[in-house]
Homo-oligomer: A and B are copies of this chain.
Amino acid sequence: MKIGIIGTGAVGKMLGTKMTELGHEVKMGSRTANNEKAAEWAKAAGAKASQGTFADAAAFGEMVFNCTRGEVSMQALNAAGAKNLDGKILVDVANPLDFSKGMPPTLTPSLANTHSLGEEIQKAFPAARVVKALNTMNCSLMVNPKLVDGSHDLFMCGNDITAKVAVANLLEQFGWSEVIDLGDITSSRATEMLLPIWIRLMMKYQTPNFNFKIVK
């Protein structure tokens, strides 16, 4: 599959590398056509990796991953361009974290509780098929669920069922057998609201290598 990655941070690089290893073609997008971090990544990730602008990456991908920080996600996706996202599966991995008052962060107030980043992205790009997923864990665990022993869960939501199935199939290639579908994109509120406890647990355990499991 052709994959576009929006963002050049740790999450984008980790996901991008994993997907090239799985045989997918991945284009990483950044604000400028010749971002140093994206170029370095593309060089290291080999023949199936390339880089360009946000718009280049969105146009390239059949599936596009938003791997930007929540506070700049909307700006980056606007730069990627609605026409380049139309009909595409847009996997939103971002969280609207507000670090302005230090650690632990809150969620961005305008994007919490009665709103969420996932929903706002779906509203802003109504022709994209937004799937919120992977946002409740560290990026090392995203691409390697075996990093944490035993069975644990990945939460997903979105309005388009075929898009969710396509994402679940890709996640299965990452090693994820347990994906919990929480329904439509409004459940982004619920998964983004896991971040406050996730961050406190990360501070307590001094490691990001843990995950949630729903025990029934």
| Contact assessment for A212 and B210 in the assembled complex, using a CB-CB cutoff below 8 Å | no
CB closest chain-B residue, reference A116:
B196
A145 to chain B, nearest CB (A): 10
A200 proximity list for chain B (CB < 8 A)? 182-183, 187, 190
CB-CB under 8 A for A193 and B196, given A149-B215, A204-B182: yes
A204 to chain B, nearest CB (A): 7
Of the stretches A44-52, A83-91, A122-130, A150-158, the one at the interface is A150-158
What 0/1 readout, one digit per residue, does chain A (149-187) give for beta carbons within 8 Å of chain B? Answer: 111100100000000000000000000000010110001
| Contact assessment for A212 and B214 in the assembled complex, using a CB-CB cutoff below 8 Å | yes
Number of copies: 2
Q: Which of B183, B191, B201 contacts A214 (CB 8 A)?
A: B201
A182 to chain B, nearest CB (A): 5
A187 proximity list for chain B (CB < 8 A)? 197, 200
A114 proximity list for chain B (CB < 8 A)? 106, 109
Q: Once the chains are docked, how many angstroms separate the CA of A148 from the CA of B214?
A: 10
A113 within 8 A of partner (CB): yes
A37 within 8 A of partner (CB): no
A106 proximity list for chain B (CB < 8 A)? 113-114, 189
Among A182, A187, A194, A214, max chain B CB count under 10 A is at A214
Q: Once the chains are docked, how many angstroms separate the CA of A106 from the CA of B152?
A: 26
| Contact assessment for A150 and B109 in the assembled complex, using a CB-CB cutoff below 8 Å | no
Q: Once the chains are docked, how many angstroms separate the CA of A8 from the CA of B46?
A: 65
Which residues of chain A have a CB within 8 Å of any CB of chain B? 106-107, 109, 112-114, 148-152, 155, 180, 182-183, 187, 189-191, 193-194, 196-197, 199-201, 204-205, 207, 209-216
5 A-B pairs with C-beta separation under 8 A: A106-B189, A182-B200, A182-B204, A205-B216, A211-B215
